[in-house]
Amino acid sequence: MSLLQVKNLVVEFPHRRGTLRALDDISFDIAPGEILGVVGESGAGKSLTGASIIGLLEPPGRIASGQILLEGERIDHLPHEKMRHIRGRKIGAIFQDPLTSLNPLYTVGRQLVETIRAHLPVDAAEARRQAIALLEDTGIPAAAERIDHYPHQFSGGMRQRVVIALALAAQPQLIVADEPTTALDVSIQAQIIQLLKRLCRERGAAVMLITHDMGVIAETCDRVAVMYAGRIAEIGPVHEVINRSAHPYTQGLMAAIPDITEDRERLHQIDGAMPRLNAIPPGCAYNPRCPRAFDRCTAQRPDLMNAGATRAACWLHDA
Amino acid sequence: MPDQARPLVQARDLAKTFDVSAPWLNRVLERRPRQLLHAVDGVSFDIAKGKTLALVGESGCGKSTVARLLVGLYEPTRGGLQFDGQDAHAAFKSSQGRALRRRVQMIFQDPYASLNPRWLVEDIVGEPLREHGLITDPARLRERVGELLQSVGLSPLDMAKYPHQFSGGQRQRISIARALATEPEFLVCDEPTSALDVSVQAQVLNIMKDLQRQQGLTYLFISHNLAVVRHVSDEVGVMYLGRLVELADKHTLFANPQHPYTRMLLDAIPKMHDTGKARTPVQGEVPNPLNPPSGCAFNPRCPLANDRCRTERPQLLDLRGVKVACHAVEEGRV
C-alpha cells in the first residue's frame, strides 16, 4: 500500500476579486522508502504541494477539495493540535535555508532533545544520547562536543546536516525536503544529497524531494513529477522522464539546461513565461508556448494519460 | 603594440584586502590583533576583445570581489588593471573616469534588487544616457530606450511600466538593456542567471551571446555553475580562496582538467543522463578565509597533498599548455 496518497488536491487563495487556484487537481502517491522528485519552475506549485502535505499552508491559502492520506488515513483536515503530532513524528520536513529553520538562541542539542522528547517517550539523558548519535550519523565531526554549539557556529553545509538530523529525530516515515541543497555550493550539495539518500535508505523513510535542479533529481530520485502552472505535466520513472520525456514542456525544459559534456552554440529556449495564476489559458496551460499545440489543446484540458513509460498530461498521447 | 594584439583587459596581481578587525576599544581592552581578510590575493589574467572569460568557484572564493575591482567599485590593495592600455584605477579617479565608466558596465545577480522599484523602465534604462550626456533630447531619448528594449527582446511599450510588472527573466533583460545603454565595450556579469529558472536562463544566455556577436562585446562572466560557464565562455579561470588555481581555454579545461580542485568541481556535478549514479562528493569544506591553511590553500581537501603542499604556496605556472598553481601537477605526480 502507498505510504502517502494525494488525490485530486486543489489549493485556492481567495482574494478581493475572486479566487486564485494555485494547485489544480494534483494526484500522486509515494511508496514506503521511495524517493519522489517534484520539479518545476518558480511558481509552478512545488512548494505549495509540500506545504499542503505537512499542513503548513499559509492562510489565506486553503485546501478547497481533494484528499491527502498518510497510511490510508486522511490528514488534510486534521485540527492543528493533531497535525502537530504527525508533523515531526510521521512526516519530517527540511527547508531550503538551514539558518532560518534553526532557532539561533538555542544550542542545536537543546533543539534536538526537545524534538525527540516531544515525540518519543524517552528521558532527557536518553534523548541526548540519541541526539549525539544522530549528529554522528549525519557526519558531524566531534558530535559530543558540537552538540552544545549554537547554529551560528556551524558552516552552511554543517547546519543543513543538523537540520537533517532534526527531521529524522523522531524516525518519521516520510521526509518532505523543499530545496534542501539550493543554498549550498555544488561541492557541499553532493555531500548533503548522498547523506540524505543514505540515511533514508537505512531508516526506510520515503522522501518527497522538491527542487528546480534536474541534476539533483537525476541522481537521487526513483520517480519524478514535473509541475507546470499548478498541475502535474508529467510523472514517471526518473530515467524515462529525463531521457524519453513525453510532454513537450519536459522536453523543452531538458533541452534548455546547458550540458557539461557537450558544446552547443545556442541553448534551446522556451519562449514566453509561465502564465500567472489569474491568467491561465483555457485548455492545456502550456499551449501558448508549446511548439506542437493543435486545436484540441486550446479547447480541452488534458489529464494525465499513459505515454510510453511515463504518464503525461498531453493530447499528443491520446490514443 | 598594435591594438589587435593587445588584450582589452589586463589584470596584474590584483589584490583586495578587507580590514575586519574588532573595534578599536575591543582591540585595546581584549588585546585582540588586527584581522585582515585577503578576499582576492594576487590574480592576473587577460581578456581579449570580443571574448569571454569566466570565473568559477565556490562562495567566498573572491569571484565577486574581482568583478567589483574590474568596474572600479573597489580600489585594489595591490596590483593594477589596464583597460585598453590605460591604467583603469588611475583613470577612475581622474577627469577621464566618466569616459571610462561609459565603456565598462556591470550586470548584477539579483534583478529584484538591482532595479529601482519606484522608477519607470524608461527612466531606469535612460538614466545612463542622461547621466553621461549622450542624449539630451527627450524624444530621441525615448526612441533610444525603445531600441535598447527591443535589442533584448522586450517591447518599446514596456518602457511605461514599473519593474514589478515584469517576471525575473524580463527584469534581468531590463538590467542588460541598461548596461548596454552607453554602448560599453566590456561587461562584467556577476552571476547574471543564477536567480533565474532554467528556461528563462536559456533565454538570457542566448541574448547575451547574440549581443556579443553583434556588438563585439567583451565579457567577464562570473558563475558557480560549470555547465553555464561551458556554454558561454572562451576561457575559464577557477578560483579558490582568493587565488586563481587554474586558467585555461574552455575546451582544454573541461576535457583535461589539471588542478585537483578543478577535477573535484567537475566530478561534483550531477550527471543528468546517467540517472541514479552518485557523484563523487568533494571532501571537506572551504576553510575560513580569515585563517587560511599554510602552503597551498587547497591542501586539507586535496588527495595529492604532501609536505611541500603544506608549506610552500604554489605559483600559477605555465604547465601542460595551461596555467595551473599546483605542486603535484608541476612534479608530475598527477
Residues A55, A76: Cα–Cα separation, whole Å: 7
DSSP B158: G
| pLDDT value, residue B35 | 87
Q: Report the C-alpha gap between B251 and A119 in whole angstroms.
A: 55
Residue A139 lies in a domain: yes
What distance in Å separates the CA atoms of residue A316 and residue A307, rounded to the nearest whole number? 9
Domain range enclosing A120: 4-302
The answer to whether residue A310 sits within a structural domain is no
Q: What is the mean pLDDT of residues A13-31?
A: 92
B274 vs A275, residue with greater confidence: A275
What kind and span of H or E run contains A15? strand A4-15
- Contacts with B263 from chain A: Cβ below 8 Å: none
Of the candidate ranges A93-102, B7-16, B135-144, B218-227, the one whose mean pLDDT is the lowest:
A93-102
User: pLDDT at position B277, please?
Assistant: 67
Q: A194 to chain B: which residues are within 8 Å by CB?
A: 278, 281
Q: Which residues of chain A have a CB within 8 Å of the CB of B197?
A: 41-42, 212
What are the helix and strand counts (H, E) for chain A?
Answer: 11, 12
Could A238 and B254 be called an inter-chain contact, meaning their C-beta atoms sit closer than 8 Å? no
Residue B286 with chain A: CB contacts under 8 Å: 185
Tell me if B270 and A219 make a contact (CB, 8 A cut-off).
Answer: yes
pLDDT at B51 over 90: yes
Residue A273 has its nearest CB partner, among B169, B231, B251, at: B169
In chain A, how many domains are there? 1
- What pLDDT is attached to residue B4? 57
pLDDT of residue B218: 95
Q: Mean pLDDT across the stretch B267-272?
A: 79
Summarize the confidence of residues A40-47 as an average pLDDT.
Answer: 89
% chain B with pLDDT above 90: 57
What does pLDDT average to over chain A?
91
* Per-residue model confidence (pLDDT) at position A4: 95
Contact A152/B at CB under 8 A: no
Whether ipTM exceeds 0.85 = no
Instruction: Establish if A141 touches chain B: CB-CB under 8 angstroms.
Output: no
Q: Which helix (H) or strand (E) holds B128?
A: helix B121-131
Closest CA–CA distance from residue A259 to any residue of chain B (Å): 5
pLDDT of residue A131: 95
Residues 6 or more apart from A65 whose CB is under 8 A from it? A8, A9, A10
The residue of chain A nearest to residue B268, with distances taken between CA atoms, is A187
As a whole number, the mean pLDDT across chain B is 89
Whether the link from the prior residue into A60 is cis, omega within 30° of 0, is yes
Dist. CA B112–CA B182, nearest whole Å: 22
Q: How far is A136 from chain B, CA to nearest CA, in Å?
A: 16
Cell match 549528529: residue?
A: A135
pLDDT at residue B169 above 80? Answer: yes
Confidence at residue B332, expressed as pLDDT on a 0 to 100 scale: 87
Q: What pLDDT band is residue A6 in, cutting at 50, 70 and 90? A: very high
What's A95's domain CATH number? 3.40.50.300
pLDDT over threshold 90, residue B128 = yes
The answer to whether residue B309 scores a pLDDT higher than 80 is yes
Instruction: Give residue-wise pLDDT tens across range B202-236.
Output: 888 998 999 999 999 999 999 988 889 999 999 99
Q: How far is B224 from chain A (nearest CA, A)?
A: 8
Q: Would you place residue B3 in the very low, low, confident or very high pLDDT band (cuts 50, 70, 90)?
A: low
Question: Does residue A99 carry a pLDDT above 80?
Answer: no
- Res. B248: pLDDT tops 90: yes
A316 is a domain residue: no
The answer to the question of residue A312 being in a domain is no
H-only helix segments in chain A: 46-53, 80-89, 108-119, 124-137, 143-146, 156-168, 186-203, 214-220, 238-243, 248-256, 295-299
Q: How far A172 CA sits from the closest chain B CA (Å)?
A: 24
A151-190 per-position pLDDT tens digit = 999 888 889 999 999 999 988 999 999 999 887 888 788 8
Closest-approach residue (CA) in chain B for A252: B199
Across A63-67, A132-136, A147-151, B34-38, least confident range? B34-38
In percent, the amount of chain A with pLDDT more than 90 equals 62
What's the pLDDT at A200?
Answer: 86
Q: Looking at the complex, does the CB of residue A239 fall below 8 Å from at least one CB of chain B?
A: yes
Q: Residue A242 contacts by C-beta under 8 Å, 6 or more apart in sequence?
A: A214, A217, A218, A224, A254, B272, B273, B275
A318 at interface of B, judged by CB pairs closer than 8 A: no
* B281 pLDDT above the threshold of 90: no
Residue in B199, B230, B279 nearest the CB of A252: B199
Check pLDDT > 80 for residue B271.
no
pLDDT on residue B2 = 46
CB contact under 8 A, B270 and A190: yes
In chain A, residues with a C-beta closer than 8 Å to the C-beta of B270 are 190, 213, 215-216, 218-219
A86 within domain boundaries = yes
Residue A103 lies in a domain: yes
User: Which chain B residues contact residue A216 at CB under 8 A?
Assistant: 270
**Quick one: pLDDT at residue A96?**
81
Could you tell me the three cell numbers for B243?
587565488
Q: What is the mean pLDDT of residues A236-245?
A: 94
What single letter denotes the amino acid at residue B120? L
A242/B273 CB distance under 8 A:
yes
**Which residues in chain A have Cβ-Cβ distances shorter than 8 Å to B285?**
155, 157-158, 188
